[in-house]
Each structure stands twice: as structure tokens, then as C-alpha cells.
Amino acid sequence: MLGNDITSPVAINEMKKMNNQKVFNKDKIALVMDHFIPNKDIKSAENCKCCREFACKHEITNYFDVGEMGIEHALLPEKGLVVAGDTVIGADSHTCTYGALGAFSTGVGSTDMAAAMVTGKAWFKVPSAIRFELVGKPGKWVSGKDVILHIIGMIGVDGALYKSMEFTGEGIKNLTMDDRFTICNMAIEAGGKNGIFPVDALAVQYMKEHSKREFTIYEADADAEYEETYVIDLSQLKPTVSFPHLPENTRTIDQVEEIKIDQAVIGSCTNGRMDDMRAAAEVLKGRKVAKHVRCIVIPATQSIYLQAMREGLLEIFIEAGAVVSTPTCGPCLGGYMGILAEGERCISTTNRNFVGRMGHTKSEIYLASPAVAAASAVLGRIACPCEL
């Protein structure tokens, strides 16, 4: 189970009220400092101090702070802490990301996190399942972000409420692991309890490269029952944008009229991985961010940051006029490094565009893929890379 610098202090304080104040297993708890790190103010510093002292006291093996940290949902798979067959709970709603590896993973509240740290147990109502059968191959500039935005636009933000979103079909072979992490990450934006992919050769390869742990592959029964089945032809999808103020408010890029932007954010637990960095760099290479646009690029982990540097991507971003940040959730939740003022518009590769999510209640957030966000930063308006 895992927690971050916002949710863990609440759980730690709840744990102090319990008779038993020992953790059930110091190796199976991960504490990741990622939302306001490096500390943005006194409150965030106090939160991290609370987590740091708790980790030292209980000898938590997987405690990640400045210099080692990354955005939790990119960091845990990268570190090999999650593999197929695991049950993972986290005091963060996007814990559903790990379904890309064939794990059952879901978000919980901080009180449940406290109970889990002590008992190693959690209680759930077993969700019914919705099947999304993916066929075909996505075209150029169509990524996992476009797939999940299409699905959310199709079924709505409560279309999979407390359901297991099961992704199947021959089209899966055309999705990278980063695509799959993105799709599962946003299952919660459709109301899903979890998202999950079958474990194929690509997933096995990923786990063998990142983890020394043994894994267990579970598959749906041949006669498995589904509440609904949707067939999605990936070859028919187009780059998709979610308009304010709900992720379900989607339009394909060809339906978007001229909308000027003030800021572009490329990063987050949804789209801060290597595929995302490469897609953004491909668009930005040899081009300049529009004069009135602030472009913020955030690699999701130290390892991704380092790989992007080795590949020359950071140089591309900086020469284009973007800034590159240490790994952080920062702007996604209106935390820091990208707060919006009244009337400002941001195109973002994050996962939520609620009222006031990134700052002022009269600002606007448009959700899109890294390629679309990068193209929009160059043209100063929401745009497809094909326009460049």
C-alpha cells in the first residue's frame, strides 16, 4: 500500500489513535513525497517531516524523498514494487494505474490507509465488470490518452461507477506499456473502481526489466459475465481534447475551434513517462513556444528525467522555450509551479479539469495528449501536431 505527502500525514495521525501502532510489513508500504516536493511552503515541509519521521521510526523500506522521488504512480512500477497478481491500495485516487500490469489496484481514503498499515488488510465490495474490446491500430499522434478520453467521453464520468474496467482485444498489442498506464490511470475519471489489462508478452518483459519479484497472471474466465461490452476501433480514433469542466466533455481535435491558451503542462502521473517526453520533443524540436504561452515539462521520475537528458530531449524543451521541472505533481492539483490566474486557459496532459483545479475558479483547463499539448504551446492555441 502507498501514500504521499498529502495523504500519509492524515493516515499517520489516525494510526496514532490505535492500540497497535506497529506497521504490518515495512517492505509492503511505500511513502512517496511527490505533490509539493521540494517543499513549497511551511505546511508542505511539516507534512514531509511527519512522513520522514514515521518512515525512520518504522524503518519503511520504500520511502522516497527529494533526489529519489518521482510521481508515485510512475515510480512504483519503475522500481518494480508492483507486479501482476498484486493487490495494491493507495491513498490517492489514481492508484488504479497499476492495472496496466495485471494488478488489482485502487484508491482508498487515509483512514483505510492507516488500517492497512497496521493490519495489512482491506475490505471491498467486489465490483462488477465492463469490458472494453480494443481492435485495430491507432494512427499517428493518437496515444493512450486519446483512447481513455474517448472512452470517458463515450460513457461519462460515472459510466463505470464502482466497476472494474477490463481492457481486452487484439488491439492491445498496438499499445505500449506507457499507453496502458495512462489508460488505467484515468479509469477513476470514468468512476471506475479499477482498470485492468491482460498480462501479455510486453507486460512480462516490462516486469522482468524492472522487478525481481515473481508475479501471478490472472485471466478472466471463459464464461465471465460483463455488465456491458464496448468495441473500440483504435484506427478510427482522433486526437481528443477534454473541455472544461469535466473529463467527459470531449471533442476530437477537428471539432475544436480557435481557443487561445496561456499555459501548457506536459507531465503528471498520467503523462510524464518516456513515451510522453519523446512525443512532446518530436513536436517541439526546432520550434519555439509561442511568446504568450508558458510551457512546463515535468518528467515523472528521476530515471525518466535522466533518460530524457541522455536522449537530448531536455535540450529540445529548453531551446524551444519550455521549462523543465524536477518530478512533481505540482500544477496538476493547483499545488504549485503552474497556478492559473483568473481567465487563463491551460492545455494539460493531467487528468482532471474541474473548476479551480489548477488555480482560479475562473480559469479553464483542457486535457489532451503530450503531442497535442506541445503543438498547442507552439501555435498558442489548441492544435493538432499535423498543423505544424
| pLDDT value at residue 185 | 97
Q: Could you tell me if 190 and 103 lie in one domain? A: no
Output the pLDDT for position 339: 94
| Residue at which a domain ends, from 236, 264, 290 | 236
Quickly list H helices, the chain. 7-15, 42-57, 72-78, 110-119, 144-155, 177-185, 201-210, 268-271, 274-284, 302-310, 313-320, 370-379
**Average pLDDT value for residue range 67-88:** 95
Burial 126-139 (b: 16+ CB within 10 A, else e): ebebbbbbbbbebe
Q: What's the confidence (pLDDT) of residue 150?
A: 97
Give the Cα separation of 315 and 313 in Å (integer): 5
pLDDT of residue 200: 96
Q: What is the CATH number of the domain that holds 143?
A: 3.30.499.10
pLDDT digits (tens, 9 = 90+) for 216-250: 999 999 999 999 999 999 999 999 999 999 999 99
Cα–Cα distance measured from residue 136 to residue 232, given in angstroms and rounded to the nearest whole number? 8
Q: Which of 236, 262, 292 delimits the end of a domain?
A: 236
DSSP code, position 301: B
Give the total number of structural domains in the chain: 3
User: Are 214 and 261 in the same domain?
Assistant: no
pLDDT digits (tens, 9 = 90+) for 85-97: 999 999 999 999 9
Q: Which domain holds residue 62?
A: 2-119
Is there a single domain that holds both residue 149 and residue 99? no
Q: How many residues does the chain have?
A: 388
Q: Specify whether 168 is located in the same domain as 276.
A: no
pLDDT 10s digits, 283-327: 999 999 999 999 999 999 999 999 999 999 999 999 999 999 999
Residues 319 and 348 occupy one common structural domain: yes
Domain termination site, one of 91, 119, 147: 119
* Residue 255 confidence (pLDDT): 93
CA nearest neighbour of 77 among 272, 219, 247, 218: 272
Indicate whether 376 and 255 sit together in one domain.
yes
pLDDT at 20 > cutoff 90: no
Q: Are residues 90 and 136 in the same domain?
A: no
Clarify whether residues 250 and 334 are in a common domain.
Answer: yes
